[in-house]
Chain A
């Protein structure tokens, strides 16, 4: 379109393609980083796993005390940090490389392992089952704004808690074709899940090029690393499996009551993992993580809805970008026991903040009851919220088409834009609500006065009734089952 302004190419223009959001300045990030290095040099972190202790000892740089405390010099940390990739592209079992983890690319997904579920028929809270995980997987497979899947619930109806992870992964695969983040019991469990994923991807090397999943692993704050977590981390390092080592400190209880203090401590926890993996085998895709929030001082609840979670998570993302590490963050979660106004408010705040901050994998979307209860309705509601949040992230174009001076001229005072070509061509950029109601009162009234909860419930049922994910072929199913059966056999001895 020809410009009708005399000079549309002025000099010295700075244009924002998207909104800009930052919590910390570079100076503040450096303060936190240097403090974390200091923690590792002076205080150290305790490691309850022999192979890792041996790796640290034989580095001739780290110092291991008799109480299993490991202290690491800054030089070793900085060498380790240089070895981690800045980009990992995940591929679902549908073959799509749909999650490109790199700076400021944001993807949303569920959390995992919720012990309870509201039964949709009885409304009662009960233990989560295999079928609940399949249902959550199908919902996430369908919902357009979910990019990756964690199990949402933990399968409670399995033969042996020591092998639950294989069954859970099977339930996830059954219902969902998107990339995943998986939890596992221990190193052996992770190995089985990895073998299961490799069946779809045609082997170890292919998995490394486009991994199907990221392994979720967490330390115990403050500054403690248990055996199974370290085992998983070392296995991931050996095989080049992407993994996040994600501290879950509660400010005021397992971390300082100041956000900066919590960030220092959790960064020290991450950096120790970075060194450990480097000593095992340099170059695995290590992802930085953190569910950084406060402990509620009335109830002792680890809060998923606190505004401090949003603020601290955004700050952590700032740090991750400065360190050139991919970031696993948190949003779309709530302390509310029910999918109600509180759940909507808390979810929206953390989703918007996480999105604007540019975190790469935003997980725990749909958590209610402070990470204890699973709700399919919450997933459906959050999908709409993410749609709105992504719209805010689109930013504003100020080119000729965006400024629309020609159109304003053509329509003129008192005219209308609704039938103009410019409207026809541009309005589809808008967010299109699927659950938010914008009808007039009469229509709303005549259609049964449905609240958001009603509409979310209807939509959840509709998806469950209609969505069938792309099936897994028989040969692969059989091979998956063999891996699971072998694990059962080993553990029944």
Chain B
């Protein structure tokens, strides 16, 4: 029996993580084109989730379940996608700067990006500047996301931007910053590309900036 990608999208909207994962495997086993599974199954579902979230019909806990389902499906598909196809889905490196142990906001952003099909490398919290630089060199992401909740740790973000410049890798990545005390003006001041005011708008802006 052929795998119904419309049903896969519905399961994803309903946040059925295991079902989506299993169905993706079935689709692969049946020899469906991975790109087609991605577009007509997973992404089609996440597009509806995005619309419903904006219309206040779905909320963060439901969206994150769908995002998890998306991510589970992507884990199966990614090895099968051609290099250019995998690249097209996008990669993000994200972390909280040195001195800041606040985790949740950054994790929410990471999960939302996974829901948008990105491969997300979550570096964690309280990170030295060099960790960001090394990660950009290693993963060659489209996006680097940094967060800070404290006014005292905010300046660390500027230090990371400068270190990336010195390492000669600043221009190969779009830099996104966020966190309660961060503003669009601050992002400009330190030379970041994008200010993410909340998890959902970060994904919108991030996708727009890297053309995904």
Contact = CB atoms under 8 A, between A and B. Distances in A.
Q: Do A and B bind each other?
A: yes
Nearest to A441: B197
Interface string A416-453: 10110001100100000000000111110000000000
Interface string B159-196: 00000000000000000000000011000000000010
A39 to B, nearest CB: 55
Given A414-B103, A416-B103, A418-B108, A443 B64 contact: no
Given A416-B103, A416-B104, A418-B104, A442 B64 contact: no
B14 to A, nearest CB: 12
Interface SS of chain B: helix
B197 A418 contact: no
B51 to A, nearest CB: 17
B184 A442 contact: yes
B197 A427 contact: no
Interface in B64-85: 64-65, 68
B197 A416 contact: no
Given A440-B197, A442-B197, A443-B201, A416 B61 contact: no
Contacts of A439: 198
Contact of A418 (B15, B61, B184): B61
A414 B102 CA distance: 9
B60 interface: yes
Contacts of A427: 59, 61
A424 B68 CA distance: 13
A429 to B, nearest CB: 12
Contact of B65 (A416, A424, A442): A424
Nearest to B60: A418
Interface string B75-115: 00000000000000000000000000101100110010000
Interface string B132-171: 0000000000000000000000000000000000000000
B62 interface: yes
Given A414-B103, A427-B59, A419 B64 contact: yes
Contacts of A414: 101, 103
A162 B59 CA distance: 54
Contact of B111 (A419, A440, A441): A419
Contacts of B197: 440-443
A5 B65 CA distance: 29
A431 to B, nearest CB: 13
Nearest to B64: A419
Contact of B62 (A424, A440, A442, A443): A424
A442 B195 contact: yes
A418 B65 CA distance: 10
A432 B59 CA distance: 10
Nearest to B125: A414
B61 A423 contact: yes
A384 to B, nearest CB: 14
Contacts of B198: 439-440, 443
Contacts of B108: 418
B59 to A, nearest CB: 7
Contacts of A443: 197-198, 201
Q: Which 5 A-B pairs have the closest CB atoms?
A: A442-B197, A440-B197, A424-B61, A419-B64, A440-B198
25 contacts: A414-B101, A414-B103, A416-B103, A416-B104, A416-B107, A418-B60, A418-B61, A418-B64, A418-B104, A418-B107, A418-B108, A419-B61, A419-B65, A419-B68, A419-B111, A423-B61, A424-B61, A424-B65, A427-B61, A440-B197, A440-B198, A442-B184, A442-B195, A443-B198, A443-B201
Given A416-B107, A443-B198, 7 more contacts: A418-B107, A418-B108, A419-B61, A424-B65, A439-B198, A440-B197, A441-B197
